[in-house]
Amino acid sequence: MPDIGGMTELNDKDRLMPPLIAFAGVLGGLTVVRWAYRTATRINQELEEARLARLAEAARTGEIKTLRRDPVTGAYRPD
C-alpha cells in the first residue's frame, strides 16, 4: 500500500466489516425469520380452527350431503 504523508491508503476492499455490525446483522436476520415463522404458524392455526368450526356447523345443520355414484355416467352426485 502506498504511504501518503505518514498515513497508509486503504481501499474499501481491504477493510473488513466490523464484527459487531456483522453480528447485529445476523441477529436481526434471525429475529425476522423467527417473527415470520411464528406469524405463519399463528395464521395457519387460526385458519384451521375456522375450517373446523365451519365443518362442525355444517355437520350440525345437516348441510353435508353424501355423494352417490350415478350408475349411468359414473359421476358422483349429491344424494
Tens-level pLDDT at each residue, the chain (79 residues): 455 555 666 666 667 778 888 899 999 999 999 999 999 999 999 999 999 998 888 777 777 778 899 999 989 888 7
Residues 6+ apart with CB under 8 A from 11: none
pTM given for the model: 0.53
DSSP tally for the chain: helices H, then strands E? 1, 4
Q: What are phi and psi of 25, to 5 degrees?
A: -65, -45
